[in-house]
Chains A and B, each alone.
Chain A
Amino acid sequence: DGGITQSPKYLFRKEGQNVTLSCEQNLNHDAMYWYRQDPGQGLRLIYYSQIVNDFQKGDIAEGYSVSREKKESFPLTVTSAQKNPTAFYLCASSWGLAYNEQFFGPGTRLTVL
């Protein structure tokens, strides 16, 4: 089945540690995105990438980093510089930035203790 996978579903880390969230897609989509969702709020864009080895900052990129070494994969690292990292993180993909329909993975809930 084609789709987007995120792992793990739940992640716990101690304060001060970096943590990497996985996102893989087998839809052959060019563009991939990372969003953060806080309780009762909408989705805020962290980073996006339209092609391998290229990515752009979204609205809340501070404290996060990404890489796009393969078309299928777009991992997100939450660094210790992110002041409030506890949140629900969603990965999405689309055929390209010119294609508006984005498809989402199941999300990773990160809790920093």
Chain B
Amino acid sequence: GQQLNQSPQSMFIQEGEDVSMNCTSSSIFNTWLWYKQDPGEGPVLLIALYKAGELTSNGRLTAQFGITRKDSFLNISASIPSDVGIYFCAGPVLETSGSRLTFGEGTQLTVNP
């Protein structure tokens, strides 16, 4: 099936630093979703992107839908300790019964105070 490749797999940063992560695919997607998962909890939707080139912000988070439609980027500015967690990208895969999401393997973010 279609796979989403996230990088980096993990990041260790100091509080206040900016963070960038990305998600790539060999296939074209018409939607990109970014989720954050706190330890022991379910993922929470951060940003949804629906148009190539789209740049969307949610507070200190900014995500972009790549022009090629095969990638997406998530940036976090001025990181704080509560940014710790796993960040997943996801995109829809079309099937005969509808569409379902495929997820990347996540970027584990650690923020040192």
Binds B, one of A12-20, A69-77, A78-86, A93-101: A93-101
| A42 with B105: CB separation less than 8 A | yes
Cβ–Cβ < 8 Å partners of B91 in chain A: 100
Question: Is the beta-carbon distance between A105 and B42 smaller than 8 angstroms?
Answer: yes
Q: In terms of DSSP, what is the predominant structure of the interface of chain B?
A: strand
The number of A-B residue pairs with CB atoms under 8 Å apart is 59
A25 to B37, CA, bound (A): 19
- A104, CB-defined interface residue at 8 Å: yes
Pair B98/A97 contact, Cβ less than 8 Å: yes
Within 8 Å CB of A96, what residues of B? 98
Interface residues on B, range: 20 to 34
Does B103 sit within 8 A of A, measured CB to CB?
yes
Asked if A97 and B97 sit within 8 Å, CB to CB, the answer is: yes
- Determine the chain B residues whose CB is within 8 A of the CB of A8 once the complex forms: none
22 CB contacts below 8 A, A to B, read: A6-B42, A33-B100, A40-B105, A41-B105, A41-B106, A42-B88, A43-B43, A43-B88, A43-B103, A45-B101, A48-B100, A92-B42, A96-B98, A97-B97, A97-B100, A100-B33, A100-B48, A100-B91, A101-B48, A106-B41, A107-B40, A107-B41
